[in-house]
Chain A
Amino acid sequence: MHIPAVYDVNLSIVSPELALGLVGVLVLILDLFLRDEEARWLVVPSIAGVVLSGVYAAGLWGQAATAFHGAVVVDPFSLGFDFLFLTVILLTLLLSLRLPKLSSGHFALLLWAGTGMMLLAAASSLMTLFLGVELLSISLYLLVALAPGNAAAGEAALKYFILGAFATGFLLLGIAFLYGSTGAVTLFGIQKALSGGALNLPHAFTFLKVGLALFLVGLGFKLALVPFQVWVPDVYQGAPTPITAFMSVGTKAAAFAALLRSLYGIIPPGGWIPALTVLAVATLLVGSLLILRQTNLKRLLAYSGIVNAGYLLVALVSFGLVPAAYYLAAYTFMNLGAFAGIAALSKDAEEGAELPAYRGLAYRRPWLGASLAFLFLSLASIPPTGGFTGKFLILLSAVASNHAYLAVILVAATAISLFAYLRVVVALFTPAEEAGLAPRPLPAGAVVVVGIGVLGVLATGILPHLFLIPISSMTHLFTISPVP
């Protein structure tokens, strides 16, 4: 069949996304033929789907091309993020195995959420970006809610849905304003319009500013930046732990990728640097102060996610693409590892216990306790961990781009939030009078994820070149829209 060139269809460009999404459909169909107890076997085709998608992504490596009239782009930047997302999905699949009742659709929804994340990294049009956000968000609303018999999850899902839908509204309105002021939705088109004098029209500049502000609000919600972070703790606490882990890393990375591409791509830096600097400072300071009061481990990690979004913003403002990507990789390992530790210890009914329950874990479960302590030390950015090396690189970009004051605020936030993390470490090593959490036997999937997390944190901590070489090749070739 011959497709006329005017449609600009090139399915190979979106093959990683397609593979993941279609395997998701397949998994859903397979689910019909399985009994409830057998549902967890669906993890096998799901993992196969992740691998397949990874193979397609690897096949595209080195290319830089767009398709669908500039709506989707493939370049090392999108592919690098694809690999990050696929890693996150893979680890989440392993973690999900310990959920007491796997509802049908769990695996399919995870794969679709992953498709949405990949679309976000590949979006070179605001419409594709919106599609990605919606695909990701709707899958997540359901994933949060899909915890049978857990009232907190239902509440969390509802909160997440209402606030998320609201934020999506902002995002869409922002896109509309951007379109109104420039007459284009593709990043390349907007860029061309801006340099071609589109702003000389009446009100166009105001529209652009309003549009940009609304756009930032929408993505800021997904990234959990202060002051759009209020939903985070409740949702993170209520959701099943594997889903929380997935959200804390995956959503953040995807929204960050989209923000990076659209901001660097369309708007001159002078336009958004002040706004993002303010957001970064607020996120760092508020996040690090709020984290101090947390005693529930999942809430603590939720606030930690907010502070970490602040670190990423500092890298964004100082054009530290490589540090940002490096930090995201390190953060993926330490955060997923920490969540996996919580998941491994949770009893069926209660998810993510309060801090006192973790007392003395290092004596009852020496390996798990020491691993968790190590992961939390990495979150506290104590060397020689990935958390430290990543932060060192972010500091490097901040100081090199003459944002030394941001570097100082960043280390202040690090110093403050450190206490929350160290409290966990101390609890792990404090002898407990009564036996706390330590189920026997430990779920294998979660333990594997903890192990991968520890190894990843060590590797990002002391072997930076392993990650920096692929990352810099990924960001040097960063393209917005190579083909007009």
Chain B
Amino acid sequence: MQGSPLLTVITFLPLLGGILLFLVPRGRVGVARTVAMLFALADVVLTAYLAWAAHPGASFQFQERAAWLPSFFSYHLGADWISIFLLLLTSVSFLVSIAASRGITQRGRAYLFLMLLAETACLGLFVSLDLFLFYIFWEVMLVPIYLLIIGWGGPKRRQAATKFLIYNLAASLLMLVALVWVGIQNAGAGHDAWGYLSLLHLHLPAAAQLLPFLAFALAFAVKMPLFPFHTWMPDAYAEAPAPVTAVLSGVLSKAGLYGFLRLGLPLFPAAAREVWPWVAGLAIIGVIYGSLIALAERDAKRLVGYASLAHLGIILLGIFAFDLQGLEGGVLQMVNHGVYVVALFLLLGMIEERAGTRDVTALGGLAVRAPVLAASFLIVALAALGLPGLNGFAGEFLILLGVFRTHLWLAVAAMLGVILASAYMIRLLQAAFHGPRAFPGQGREMSAWEFTLMVPLLFIIFWIGIVPRPIPAEVAPTAHHLVAQVSYAPPSGFPGGTGR
């Protein structure tokens, strides 16, 4: 083993905690949750330390490497600034979501174990510098989420979980074939065929990039999700318990975007450049379509799910603008979206707990009894619709700036999505908190615990809103690299591609 094991500790600490949970006696769910939270909290501290100790630049830091199957794959971890910000997002999201799982009393240890396993898978994915390892984490991620939906979900959980799994697995198995192919092309003496850093020097012939890129892109698009591969999303979001929906939308969707950033663009630059009109087109359709459905949707969780589809479309647009600002904004917005969407789903969970329904037409008047809840929701919703001063604004602004400079009409279309966002977010806010009281009693205020959960998220929302600079600044060198890689790749001659 070379290098300090910091990233290994960060990655596997939640899993260790999950296993230790089974030492807690069966009936003591509260104790088990405290133990789980302590491990998740330790991970937050460690990732914060990581961000503090990291130095600027585009390189992969904290690398550690152990031989595994020499000349095939190795256990190789490392983090650049994209990884570091996503690690922070992951550890905070999971800590808050686990802390918000007070409603889970049945089989509590199994639930917490699966949450922690999912956290390990997400963290590991963001620091893998080996494609084999990447794929392992990518797949392992699916199992706990599937079991969480099926074990603790709503009435239609079986259907939703199965759909989630079919979509994601089919796509990721195709990615496996492409991944195997890419490694075979990279086979040679002196390096691991699936090692990420050696793959960066592979420079596949442009004509050969298209098929593997599409296979990878499909897996990422399903995971995000990107229109039209999103149909598993509304059901899974609606049926999963609120904390699971929160991490599903807050963290797992980032895995798809991260895949584009880490693998899609650097390994297949020519293909990415040739295919970008299609990706951008789907992203824009997703933005408009998601916003319009969100305007009409009655189920609050589905509403936020469709809104999330639109927001993720804008982020992907920023990534595929191949522009420095667009990429920086994309990464910033990945973090932003994660934070406010986790907050949104957790707040929706609290509302559902009080009202017994998520139907926005049946809600109303909650603000009278629960002004703090209403205020929290207001802040988060405003952050989501991109109000200046809150975190959503800076990211969207940078993305639109990048897109605007390269493709004017795309920026205009994306702007439409931003405008629609105000409409559906305000509609949700009004329906839930204002107007006549729709349900008697029950509309109690946030408990101290529930408010405590929101504090870190609200703090991040304000902090990034006021001082957004650190994220794009730290990511800039990596973004430079990416833009250069894509811009100078020779054209592939793919029919229908336009190049730039």
Chain A positions near chain B (C-beta within 8 angstroms): 362-363, 366, 377, 382-384, 388, 392, 395-396, 399-400, 404, 407-408, 411-412, 414-415, 418-419, 422, 425-426, 429-431, 464-465, 468
Q: Are A396 and B180 in contact (CB under 8 A)?
A: yes
Q: Which residues of B contact A383 (CB under 8 A)?
A: 135-136, 139-140
Q: Which residues of A contact B40 (CB under 8 A)?
A: none
Given known contacts A382-B143, A415-B170, is B136 in contact with A468 (CB within 8 Å)? no
* Bound Cα distance from A388 to B151, whole angstroms: 25
A-B pairs, 3 with minimum CB distance: A411-B173, A383-B136, A395-B180
Q: Are A395 and B177 in contact (CB under 8 A)?
A: yes
* Bound Cα distance from A426 to B144, whole angstroms: 11
Q: Which residues of B contact A366 (CB under 8 A)?
A: 22
Q: Are B180 and A422 in contact (CB under 8 A)?
A: no
* Bound Cα distance from A384 to B139, whole angstroms: 9
Q: Are A400 and B184 in contact (CB under 8 A)?
A: yes
A377, A383, A404, A464: residue with the most chain B Cβ atoms closer than 10 Å: A383
Chain A nearest CB from B154 CB (Å) reads: 16
Chain B nearest CB from A239 CB (Å) reads: 32
Q: Are A382 and B140 in contact (CB under 8 A)?
A: yes
Q: Are B132 and A415 in contact (CB under 8 A)?
A: no
Given known contacts A399-B184, A407-B180, is B140 in contact with A418 (CB within 8 Å)? no
Residue of B nearest to A464 (CB): B69
Enumerate B138-178 residues with CB–CB distance to A below 8 Å.
139-140, 142-143, 146-147, 150-151, 162, 165-166, 169-170, 173-174, 176-177
B107 interfacial by beta-carbon distance below 8 Å: yes
Q: Which residues of B contact A382 (CB under 8 A)?
A: 139-140, 142-143
Q: Are B69 and A404 in contact (CB under 8 A)?
A: no
27 contacts between A and B (CB under 8 A): A363-B107, A382-B140, A382-B143, A383-B135, A388-B136, A392-B132, A392-B176, A392-B180, A395-B176, A395-B177, A400-B184, A407-B180, A408-B177, A411-B176, A415-B169, A415-B170, A419-B162, A419-B165, A419-B166, A426-B150, A429-B107, A429-B151, A430-B151, A431-B106, A465-B68, A465-B70, A468-B69
Chain B positions near chain A (C-beta within 8 angstroms): 22, 68-70, 106-107, 110, 132, 135-136, 139-140, 142-143, 146-147, 150-151, 162, 165-166, 169-170, 173-174, 176-177, 180-181, 183-184
* Bound Cα distance from A414 to B176, whole angstroms: 12
Other A-B pairs beyond A388-B139, A422-B165, A426-B147, 18, CB < 8 Å: A366-B22, A377-B143, A383-B140, A384-B136, A395-B180, A399-B181, A399-B184, A400-B184, A407-B177, A407-B180, A411-B176, A412-B173, A415-B173, A418-B165, A422-B146, A464-B69, A465-B69, A465-B70
* Bound Cα distance from A383 to B68, whole angstroms: 15
* Bound Cα distance from A21 to B177, whole angstroms: 44
Q: Which residues of A contact B174 (CB under 8 A)?
A: 408, 411
Chain A nearest CB from B272 CB (Å) reads: 21
* Bound Cα distance from A395 to B179, whole angstroms: 10
* Bound Cα distance from A119 to B431, whole angstroms: 77
* Bound Cα distance from A388 to B177, whole angstroms: 13
* Bound Cα distance from A156 to B70, whole angstroms: 47
Q: Which residues of A contact B170 (CB under 8 A)?
A: 412, 415
* Bound Cα distance from A221 to B473, whole angstroms: 65
Q: Which residues of A contact B140 (CB under 8 A)?
A: 382-384
Q: Which residues of A contact B69 (CB under 8 A)?
A: 464-465, 468
Q: Which residues of A contact B132 (CB under 8 A)?
A: 392
Chain B nearest CB from A138 CB (Å) reads: 41
* Bound Cα distance from A310 to B68, whole angstroms: 28
Q: Are B177 and A399 in contact (CB under 8 A)?
A: yes
- Contact with B180, one of A399, A464, A468 (Cβ below 8 angstroms): A399
- Contact with B110, one of A392, A425, A429 (Cβ below 8 angstroms): A429
Q: Which residues of B contact A464 (CB under 8 A)?
A: 68-69
* Bound Cα distance from A366 to B21, whole angstroms: 13
Chain B nearest CB from A140 CB (Å) reads: 35
Q: Which residues of A contact B162 (CB under 8 A)?
A: 419
Chain B nearest CB from A210 CB (Å) reads: 36
Q: Which residues of A contact B136 (CB under 8 A)?
A: 383-384, 388
* Bound Cα distance from A383 to B132, whole angstroms: 10
Q: Which residues of B contact A414 (CB under 8 A)?
A: 173
Chain A nearest CB from B135 CB (Å) reads: 7
Q: Which residues of B contact A392 (CB under 8 A)?
A: 132, 176, 180
* Bound Cα distance from A395 to B146, whole angstroms: 25
Q: Are B139 and A404 in contact (CB under 8 A)?
A: no
Q: Which residues of B contact A415 (CB under 8 A)?
A: 166, 169-170, 173
Q: Are A404 and B135 in contact (CB under 8 A)?
A: no
Chain A nearest CB from B328 CB (Å) reads: 33
Chain A nearest CB from B43 CB (Å) reads: 21
* Bound Cα distance from A359 to B142, whole angstroms: 22
Q: Which residues of A contact B147 (CB under 8 A)?
A: 425-426, 429
Chain A nearest CB from B238 CB (Å) reads: 20
Residue of B nearest to A360 (CB): B107
Q: Which residues of A contact B173 (CB under 8 A)?
A: 411-412, 414-415
Chain B nearest CB from A189 CB (Å) reads: 38
* Bound Cα distance from A344 to B205, whole angstroms: 55
Given known contacts A426-B147, A468-B69, is B22 in contact with A404 (CB within 8 Å)? no
* Bound Cα distance from A429 to B150, whole angstroms: 10
Q: Which residues of A contact B22 (CB under 8 A)?
A: 366
Chain A nearest CB from B112 CB (Å) reads: 14
- Contact with B184, one of A396, A419, A425 (Cβ below 8 angstroms): A396
Q: Are B177 and A404 in contact (CB under 8 A)?
A: yes
Chain A nearest CB from B302 CB (Å) reads: 24
Given known contacts A382-B139, A422-B146, is B165 in contact with A404 (CB within 8 Å)? no
* Bound Cα distance from A472 to B301, whole angstroms: 54
Residue of A nearest to B135 (CB): A383
* Bound Cα distance from A415 to B172, whole angstroms: 10
* Bound Cα distance from A322 to B334, whole angstroms: 43
Chain B nearest CB from A429 CB (Å) reads: 6
* Bound Cα distance from A468 to B22, whole angstroms: 35
* Bound Cα distance from A419 to B170, whole angstroms: 12
* Bound Cα distance from A414 to B132, whole angstroms: 18
Residue of A nearest to B171 (CB): A415
B22, B169, B184: residue with the most chain A Cβ atoms closer than 10 Å: B169
* Bound Cα distance from A396 to B132, whole angstroms: 12
Chain B nearest CB from A345 CB (Å) reads: 20
